Homo-oligomer: A and B are copies of this chain.
Amino acid sequence: MAPSTRPPGRPRSSVDAEVFAATLATIHELGYTRATVDRIAAATGIAKTTIYRRWPSKGALVTACLVDTFGPLPPAGRDRAQDLAAAIRFGARRIAEPGVAAAFSGVFTDAIGDPELREILSTQLQDPYRKVLIESLGLSEQRVLFFIDVVIGTLLHRMGMTGEPMVESDVEALIVMLQRELEGWLP
């Protein structure tokens, strides 16, 4: 048997990191629609079949990539208003990173008509934040989901309309508005 010329398999975490970086870079360069799994695979040199073994669809791949990019919220402190402000600034910083807003809007757009993708988005991307925020803000689930809609929706709409992240002064206005809202909803 001829010796294999393939390099030894890359460990899983390294493949994930490579694919996620290529996913955001490709979406940033070509837009969500044209960033196909084919092109993402080509950008990494990793086989398309390997990618589909890990993530069954482009929507699942982009969701996993967003989960990885966002990472955990800043640790909660002792002041709910400050925790809320930190969470909003955290969201604004992440959405400003290259490719993130287009990835996020794209996967939402696909999810509107795709119940399976909505399930993936909701359980893998939204649920961890939902749980942490119910705990740290002391709000009901309905209120936390409303806050997430307002923060993420507003930041993404601004990116879509201007191509630029929301300016600092508007992020601060968003924080003040939701801090006032938080006070009003606390038991």
Is the pair A149, B142 in contact by a Cβ cutoff of 8 Å? no
Cα distance A63–B157 in the bound complex, in angstroms: 15
In the assembled complex, A186 has its CB within 8 A of some CB on chain B: no
Is the pair A112, B101 in contact by a Cβ cutoff of 8 Å? yes
Q: With a CB–CB cut-off of 8 A, which chain B residues contact A146?
A: 154, 170, 173-174
The size of the chain A interface, using a CB distance under 8 A, is 48
- Chain A, residues 82-111, CB within 8 Å of chain B (1/0): the string is 000000000000000000011001111111
Cα distance A152–B105 in the bound complex, in angstroms: 13
In the assembled complex, A49 has its CB within 8 A of some CB on chain B: no
In the assembled complex, A122 has its CB within 8 A of some CB on chain B: yes
From B121, B157, B181, A108 is in contact (CB under 8 Å) with B157
Is the pair A158, B163 in contact by a Cβ cutoff of 8 Å? no
Cα distance A143–B21 in the bound complex, in angstroms: 36
Cα distance A152–B146 in the bound complex, in angstroms: 13
Q: Which residues of A contact B (CB under 8 A)?
A: 28-33, 101-102, 105-115, 118, 121-122, 126, 142, 145-146, 148-150, 152-163, 166, 170, 173-174, 177, 180-181
Assembly stoichiometry (copies):
2
From B29, B113, B156, A157 is in contact (CB under 8 Å) with B156
CB-defined A-B contacts under 8 Å, sample of 21: A31-B109, A31-B112, A31-B113, A32-B109, A102-B113, A105-B109, A108-B160, A111-B163, A112-B163, A113-B163, A115-B163, A118-B162, A142-B170, A146-B170, A148-B157, A149-B161, A150-B154, A153-B154, A153-B155, A153-B157, A153-B158
Is the pair A157, B162 in contact by a Cβ cutoff of 8 Å? no
Is the pair B154, A122 in contact by a Cβ cutoff of 8 Å? no
Is the pair B106, A102 in contact by a Cβ cutoff of 8 Å? no
CB distance from A166 to the nearest CB of B (A): 8
